[in-house]
Structure 1
Amino acid sequence: MNLDPRRNAFRDDLADARLEGQVTANRFVAGEEARCIDPVADLRAGRGHDTPIGSQLLLGEPVLVFERQGGWAWVQSARDGYVGYVGERALGPADPQPTHLVSAVRTFAYGQPELRSKPMRTLSLGSEVTVTDEVEQRGNRYFILSTGEAVFHRHLTPLGAPLADDYVAIAERLIETPYLWGGNSALGIDCSGLVQLALRLASRSAPRDSDMQAAEIGMELQQERLLRRGDLVFWKGHVGIMADEQTLLHASGYAMAVVKEPLTDAVERIGKAYGEVTGRRRV
């Protein structure tokens, strides 16, 4: 059986116990539940900061840990199934369970509920936190987190409800976010990360990489079908979102940012480096 190692935890020496009988490994282990406690944690292809970033974990994201060694943990995201290595210090216990979602593009977690106080951390859109209390200071209300930090109450929303029905509107809020290969947050994002994050916040699941998205999201469109807002356009190794019938919204390595541009311009420029459009899908 040909299993994708990006979404299945197996190596010659160690594998997820759920894969026993499907792969060969010296040892099978059940994953230990944990949660990302850093604002953003790089999920890498191997141990070490010089290995490529495949994806990222956001604050509050649940994972299964299969190995801890030399300050690194081999994990699988419980959200999208992506497998990689993360610095062990970025992980904490699975409890307490998150209660709220960061709904602002970016926000600060303060050391105390006071706008003049020092921000302790910057949190990205889509992060999940646990609220334990609420206080008011100078007319502003703050949620107190399980970590003791304070976040402005309008920057959080209870878990469970979509931020918008139109996932493109969420993606548009990330315009000018810096491009980052493997990035999955409002601090830095790549093309497929933009699609995945925006869909997740509209309560729709999506796989992590563009080839997975090209195979699995929605339905394939025939070339003669007119594109509309929300449709996805794919190249080999790239994906963009149609903001309207003629405008592409994407995390562009050319602009090194999330941008909008005429689809015709993007097709001409991207085609020189990556070839023609390989597919179009309707979410």
Structure 2
Amino acid sequence: MDRRITPARNDLAADWLRDHVKAEQYVGGAPRTVIHDGAPLYFMPDQNAGLESQLIYGEIFQVYEDRDGWCWGQNLTDSYVGYVPTAYLEADLPAPDHQVVALRSHLYVEPDIKRPTAGTISISARVKVVDVSGSFCRIATGHWVHSRHLICLEYGTQDIVGTAIKFIGVPYLWGGRSAEGVDCSSLVQIALAMAGVSVPRDSDLQESAVGVEVPMD
């Protein structure tokens, strides 16, 4: 089985894999919401390990183990498996109803562009709007986002090329999935996701899932 998308180790595996892999223990896991945009996902619990992928703000990460400041689990958006710092996840946040359509949007501590910011979130990030003040929306984490940068999930966009064009000038980053840096397969993944099309994380998996062979002639 592909270790990139299979939550299984010799000592621990997801309960739904009980009949497919051998492990010392099986657990159901618990969902947590990503609260740090571009949260790093590693193959092992080590910040010096190579970046496998990133988690986008608002994605759901199914946690199968939380130990020593690291959560091991699976990103429910694209099934990618790995370790993420526990501090970048939070439990019990309400389901999102909006997503970010700007390449990058600031998180403000108050609904005022002159007030301090608490970070940024990238295009495709999902949030729950709980209040509105002027041209700002307050999201479930308590931060404020400019309303022009959000769109209701029920609408979305079909402009795949338009989404991709927004990334012109964004540097290449192996494993990147945010406005800070992307790789080739994540650019495809994000552009399609904004149009409501879910595809796997890596190019070979994308080819198998949605690829269509194009004749050379």
TM bin, normalised by shorter chain, reads over 0.9
Secondary structure, counterpart of 1:161 in structure 2: coil
TM-score, normalising length: structure 2: 0.96
SS of residue paired to 2:141: coil
After superposition, the C-alpha distances for 1:179-235 in whole angstroms (9 at most, x for unaligned) are 1110011111111110101110111111101111122223111211xxxxxxxxxxx
2:27 aligned partner, one-letter code: V
CA-atom RMSD in angstroms:
1.1
Q: CA deviation at 1:148?
A: 2.0
1:94 deviation in Å? 4.0
Query: Who is 1:38 aligned against?
Result: 36
| Structure 1 residues 102-149: Cα deviation after superposition (integer angstroms, max 9, x where no partner) | 11111111111111111111111111111111112xxxx111112221
* Consecutive unaligned residues in structure 1, runs of 5 or more: 225-283
Q: Does 1:167 align with 2:165?
A: no
Q: Is the 8 A contact 2:128 2:140 kept in 1?
A: yes
Alignment partner of 1:214 out of 207, 210, 213? 207
Distance in 1, Cα, partners of 2:118 & 2:54:
21
- Report Cα offsets for 1:241-269 as digits up to 9, x if no partner: xxxxxxxxxxxxxxxxxxxxxxxxxxxxx
TM-score (norm 1): 0.74
Q: Which of 1 and 2 has higher RCO (CA within 8 Å, sep 6+)?
A: 2
Kindly state the Cα deviation for residue 81 of structure 1 after the two structures are TM-superposed.
Answer: 0.6
Structure 1 residues 53 and 151, CA, compared in 2 at 3 Å: closer, same or farther?
Answer: same
Quote the residue 1:99 is aligned against: 97
1:129 to 113, 127, 142: 127
Match among 194, 197, 205 for residue 201 of structure 1:
194
Distance 1:119 1:177 in 2: 21
- Partners in 2 of 1:188 and 1:87 — Cα distance? 19
Q: 1:41, 1:56 within 8 Å by CA — same for their partners in 2?
A: yes
Cross-structure match for 2:185: 192
- Partner Cα distance (2:30, 2:205) in 1: 26
Q: CA 1:121 to 1:181, structure 2 compared with 1: closer, same or farther past 3 Å?
A: same
Map 1:253-272 to 2 at 5 A.
none
Check the 8 A contact 1:62/1:94 in 2, yes or no: no
The AA in structure 1 aligned to 2:36 is D
Code of the residue aligned with 1:38 in structure 2: it is H
Percent identity among equivalent residues?
38
1:13 and 2:11 matched: yes
CA contact (8 A) 1:161 1:203 kept: no
Greater CA drift, 214-223 or 82-91: 214-223
| Greater gyration radius | 1
For residues 218 and 169 of structure 1, the distance between their equivalents in structure 2, rounded to whole angstroms, comes to 21
> Which secondary structure does the structure 1 equivalent of 2:155 belong to?
coil
Q: Work out whether residues 101 and 150 of structure 2, in 8 Å CA contact, stay in contact via their aligned partners in 1.
A: yes
1: CA distance, partners of 2:82 / 2:98: 26
- How many residues are paired up? 217
Specify the code of the residue in structure 2 equivalent to 1:168.
V
Return the letter of the residue paired with 2:198.
S
* Secondary structure of the structure 2 residue equivalent to 1:220: coil
SS in 1 for 2:186: helix
SS in structure 1 at match of 2:53? strand
Runs of 4 or more, structure 1, over 3 Å off, are none
1:81 aligns to what? 79
- 1:63 equivalent to 2:61? Answer yes
Which residue of 1 is the match for residue 145 of structure 2? 151
